[in-house]
Structure 1
Amino acid sequence: MHYGLDFGTSNSSISINTPQGVKVLAIDDLALDPQILRSVLYFKKDDGRFMGEKAIRQMIADNEMRLPPKIIKEFTGDIVDIFLPSPGDSGGVDIWKTDVVAEYDINKPGQFLQALKTSLREGFFGKANVLGQTYSLEELIGFILRFMKMQADGLNDRSVDEVVLGRPVHYRDSQTDDLQIEKRMSEAARLAGFSKVSFLAEPIAATLSFFQKHSQDSTILLFDFGGGTLDFCLMQKIGKGKKILATDGLSIGGDLFNEEIMEQKIAKHFGTEIVWGQKGLPMPIYIKERLRKWYELQVLNTPDFHSFMNELKRENRNRAVVEKLETLINYDLSFSSFSAIEKAKIELSEKGETSIVFNQKNIFLQEKITRLEFERMIKPYLKQIEKTIDTVLRKGKTEKDQLDFVICTGGSSLIPAVKQMLVDKFGSPKILFHDIFTGVAAGLAL
C-alpha cells in the first residue's frame, strides 16, 4: 500500500488506493475543498508551523497587528577559502575568511513561504533564513509533506511509509538537473517520514486516472495545466494495454499569467514607472523583477532596500507610491496582493471585464482589466503551447484527427482562451475535463 502525493506549486493532494477504489483524502478541514491543501508554510514566532488554509489565516491575522519592521544583522558563521600557490610560485598558502551575516526583522510575527516547488525548479541550493533559523529547501518541503502524511495516516488509522510522488515531465531542460531535483524531492519525502519513494510523471498519472474511469479503447492527449507547469502525455489504450506514445512539458503555468498581470496592470501602483534623482533614473530593474514574482518579494526586505526607499521619498514628488511599495514589503503583503490578481483572473473566466481590488494598510487600488487585455498578455504563451502540442503529436507519430479526446486537468486549463485554443485545434467534441485539481493525485495511487 502506498500514497499518491501530488506536491504542486499552488495546491497539493494525497490519495490512496482502497478495495473500494482510489480515494483522495480530505487533509485540510479549513479549506473550501478539504481534499486540496494550499502548498504554503507559515512559521509563527514562538508558536510553531502551519500549513494550508491555517497558514494563510494565521499569517493574515498576524499581519493585521504587526509592528513596523526593525531589521538587525546577526553573525551566523564564516566561510574559509584556501588558495594554494600556483606551480613554481614561491608564495605561501593564502587563507581568506569571510563573515556570514544574516539580516532579519525582529518585529516580524512570522514568515510565510510559498511556491517552494518553483524554488526547487529554479535551482535554489542555499539555506533559507526563517526567523533567525536556517533551513534547506528539502527541509521546508519536508514539513509540508510530513503534514500531509500525518493527516493521511490519521484518516487511515495506520502509518503508510511508501509514496509515489508526482513530478513534471521536465523540472528543467537538463536531464542532470532533473535527476538532481528528483533526488532533492526524494530527500524531502524521507525527511517527512517516507521510507520508500518513487516518482511518476504527473501527466501520466492523470492519464491513468482518466482511464480508470473511462474504459473504452482510445488515443488521448492529456493536457495538465497547473500553477507552475504545463505537461502533456499522449497515450493509447487498447484492451487492457496502455502505451505512452509521447510526453513533453513547459515551464508555463497560471502563476506566470499572474506575473504578467502584475507587471502590466498593477506594478505601476508601486512605483515602477517613477523616475528619481537629478538624472531622472528609472526604478531599478531588480525591484521590478522582484515585484513580478510574488514569492520573491520578501527578498527586498533589507536595510539597503529601506535606505533606497528613503532616498526615493526625498527625491521624488510621488512619495505616496513609494510608501505603498514599502508597505507591501514591510508587511509581507505579497500573498494577499497576488490573491487579488488571481481572483480577478478567475472572474475573467465568467465576465468580459472585472477589477483587481486590493485594500490593506495604506494601499488601496482598483484596476480594471478586461478579458481581451488578459488574452493579449498571454497570447505569446498560447502560441508556445500550441507549438509544443504539435511537437508531442509529431513525437508520438499521431495526427490530430487520430485523437479521440483531449483530456484537460489543472486549474489553468479552465481559462477561456486556453479552452478556445484547444477547441480551434481539435474541435469541441474532443475536449473533456477530468478531476481538475485531484486527477494527478488519484493516478499516483494506482
Structure 2
Amino acid sequence: MYVGLDFGTSNSSIALYQEGKIRLFELDPGSINPRMLRSFIFVNRAQEHFTGSEAVRQYQTLETGRPVFWEMRHLGEVQMVVGGGGGPIIYWDDLFAQVDTAANGRLIQSIKTALRNPAYKGTDVLGKYYQVEELIAIILRDLRAKCAQATGEEPTGVVLGRPVKFSDEPETDARAQAKIEAAARLAGFEDIHFEYEPIAAAYVFHQQTAERQPILVFDFGGGTLDFTVMEVGGGEPPRVLSTFGVLLGGDDLDREIMQPLKRFFGEGATLRNRMPLPAHLMGMLESWQTMVLLSRPEYTSILRDARRGSDPDSIQRLETLVNKNLGFSLFQEIERAKIKLSHEATAWINMEKEGLALRDLITRPQFERLITHHVEQVNAALDETLRLSGLRADQIQAVLRTGGSSEIPVFIRLLGDKFGHDRLRELSPFETIVGGLAIRAGELGLSSH
C-alpha cells in the first residue's frame, strides 16, 4: 500500500488514494483539525515519546510554571588536535555544559525548519542523544501506525512532500532530503519517493481542469514559502515551467509580532549604572526555545542589576517569563492572535499565568507594518518565479493558495493586485498537499504491480 505523507513544520498528515477518492485519517483528536497531527514531540525522563496535541498537553502540565535550575554537568572528554611546527599536538579535554536539572521532559517543535541548518545534527534530551532523522521518524512512525490501524494494512510505499528548497546551498538541500528519507526508513517505509509540495498541491486542480492552462501555486506554510508555475489540465500530465522558494514561514511572522511585545520585558531599559540592557538579551526573546536560556546564571546577575535600573516592573516580568518557563505559552498566544488577524481587524494578546500578566492589542495594519519587509521579499520572489517561467502575470490563468499563512490578507492582496483577484483560488490550507501526494502515491502503487 502506497500513501502520501506531508511532514510539515507546524502540522503533518497522511492520506490514501483509492478508487478515485482521497482518504484522510483521524490523527490528533485533541487538535482543531483532528485529521492533522501537530508536529510536536514531547520526550519525558523515561524517554517516552508523545506527539501532536498530547505532546503540548504533557509539556504544559509538566513544564510550564515550574522553576528552572541550572547545573554544570560533565559530559565527557573530547579529543583536541592543535597543529604545530613539529607536528600535531593531541590531548584530551573535559567537556561541560549547563543542564536544567529540574526538567521533566523536552518539547521539540519545527524540526523541519532545523533542516535548513547544516550544523544541526541532533540534540540531547535528558541524557539521550537523538539524531535529527530519529526525531522526524517519531512523527512519521506515528502517522504510519494510525494509517495502518484505520486500514488494517501497513503502508510500505510513500510519497513525501518537500519544499522547493530547504536551503540556498545545494549540499544542505540534498542533506535535508536525505535526512527525511532516512527517517522514513526508520519509520518502516520501504519504497520512498519525493514530490515538491506545490506540485502536489496542484494535483486535484489538474484533474478537474478540462482545458490546458498555466497556473501558479502559492504554498505558504509554517517554515517555507514555495512558488511553482506549471501547465495543468487538458488530460495531459502537469508540466512544471518554474519553481522558486523563499526561506520564510509562519514562524518568522510570529517573531515579528514579538517585536512590539519586547517593551513589556525590558526593551529600552537601563541598568543601575544607566547603561542599556544588553541588546542580545532582547534577541533571545524571539524564540520560546531561547527564552529559557535567560534563566542561566550568566544572565541572572544582569537581570538582578537591571531590577535596580530604569524599569524594574518590566525586568520582573522578564524574570517571571524565563524562570517559570512561560515562553511556549506566550508564543502560542502570539500564533493565536496572528491567525485571528486573518479574519478580524484586531486581536488581543492575553497572557495571565504564574504571576505574569500581559494584555496588548494588535491591529491588522500594525501587523502588516511589522512584516513589510517580508511582503517585499515575497513580491520580489513572485517576479523571479515569473521570469524563470517565461510568462507574464496576465498569462497566469489561476493562482492556487495553500498553507496556513496563505490566508493572511496582505498576501492575498499582493497576489490579487499582481494576477487579478478573480484568478485567485483558495484550496484547503492543510489538506490539499497531502491529497496531491496521495494521488501521486496511488499512481506509483498501480505501476508497481
When residues 284 and 222 of structure 1 are mapped into structure 2, their CA distance, relative to the original with a 3 A threshold, is: same
- Counterpart contact for 2:38–2:52, Cα < 8 Å: yes
Query: By how many angstroms is 1:422 displaced?
Result: 1.1
- Which one is further off, 323-332 or 373-382? 323-332
Question: Paired residues, what number?
Answer: 438
Counterpart amino acid of 1:159?
A: E
1:289 equivalenced with 2:283 (yes/no): yes
SS at the partner of 1:169? coil
1:235 to 230, 238, 254: 230
1:121 equivalenced with 2:116 (yes/no): yes
Counterpart amino acid of 1:187?
A: A
- Counterpart in the other structure of 1:219: 214
- Counterpart in the other structure of 1:247: 243
Cα distance in 1 between the residues matched to 2:266 and 2:294: 15
Counterpart amino acid of 1:357?
A: N
- Counterpart in the other structure of 1:16: 16
SS at the partner of 2:202? helix
Query: By how many angstroms is 1:373 displaced?
Result: 0.9
- Counterpart in the other structure of 1:79: 78
- Counterpart in the other structure of 1:186: 181
- Counterpart in the other structure of 1:371: 364
Q: Any residues of structure 2 matched to 1:288-327 within 5 Å, and which?
A: 288-313=282-307, 315-327=308-320
Cα distance in 1 between the residues matched to 2:206 and 2:167: 28
1:209-263 deviations in Å (ceiling 9; x for gaps): 3323444432110000111111011111243232111110101122111111101
- Counterpart in the other structure of 2:159: 164
- Which one is further off, 393-402 or 343-352? 343-352
When residues 21 and 368 of structure 1 are mapped into structure 2, their CA distance, relative to the original with a 3 A threshold, is: same
When residues 127 and 47 of structure 1 are mapped into structure 2, their CA distance, relative to the original with a 3 A threshold, is: closer
Query: By how many angstroms is 1:382 displaced?
Result: 1.3
Cα distance in 1 between the residues matched to 2:52 and 2:354: 24
Q: Any residues of structure 2 matched to 1:319-358 within 5 Å, and which?
A: 319-358=312-351
Structure 1, unmatched stretches of 5+, are none
Cα RMSD (Å): 2.0
1:151 equivalenced with 2:150 (yes/no): no
Cα distance in 1 between the residues matched to 2:316 and 2:132: 32
- Counterpart in the other structure of 1:100: 95
Cα distance in 2 between the residues matched to 1:407 and 1:372: 25
Query: By how many angstroms is 1:124 displaced?
Result: 4.1
1:381-435 deviations in Å (ceiling 9; x for gaps): 1122112111111211112221110010011111111111111111111000112
Query: By how many angstroms is 1:195 displaced?
Result: 2.5
Counterpart amino acid of 1:7?
A: F
- Counterpart contact for 1:353–1:369, Cα < 8 Å: yes
Query: By how many angstroms is 1:67 displaced?
Result: 3.9
- Counterpart contact for 1:121–1:181, Cα < 8 Å: yes
1:406 equivalenced with 2:399 (yes/no): yes
Counterpart amino acid of 2:74?
A: F
Cα distance in 2 between the residues matched to 1:297 and 1:317: 22
- Counterpart in the other structure of 2:264: 269
Counterpart amino acid of 2:285?
A: L
- Counterpart in the other structure of 1:397: 390
- Counterpart contact for 1:220–1:405, Cα < 8 Å: yes
Counterpart amino acid of 1:229?
A: T
1:94-129 deviations in Å (ceiling 9; x for gaps): 223222223322222221111111112133424422
Cα distance in 2 between the residues matched to 1:96 and 1:274: 45
Q: TM-score, normalised by structure 1?
A: 0.92
- Counterpart in the other structure of 1:110: 105
Query: By how many angstroms is 1:437 displaced?
Result: 0.7
Matched residues, percent identical? 34
- Which one is further off, 6-15 or 41-50? 41-50
Query: By how many angstroms is 1:36 displaced?
Result: 0.9
1:294-343 deviations in Å (ceiling 9; x for gaps): 34334445332334333433x42533322322332233322211111112
1:334-390 deviations in Å (ceiling 9; x for gaps): 221111111212222232222211111121111111111111112221122112111
- Counterpart contact for 1:125–1:136, Cα < 8 Å: no
1:207 equivalenced with 2:202 (yes/no): yes
- Counterpart in the other structure of 2:252: 256
Q: TM-score, normalised by structure 2?
A: 0.92
Cα distance in 2 between the residues matched to 1:13 and 1:122: 24
Structure 2, unmatched stretches of 5+, are 441-449
- Counterpart contact for 1:102–1:129, Cα < 8 Å: no
- Which one is further off, 294-303 or 413-422? 294-303
SS at the partner of 2:366? helix
SS at the partner of 2:371? helix
Cα distance in 2 between the residues matched to 1:194 and 1:320: 54
- Which one is further off, 38-47 or 179-188? 38-47
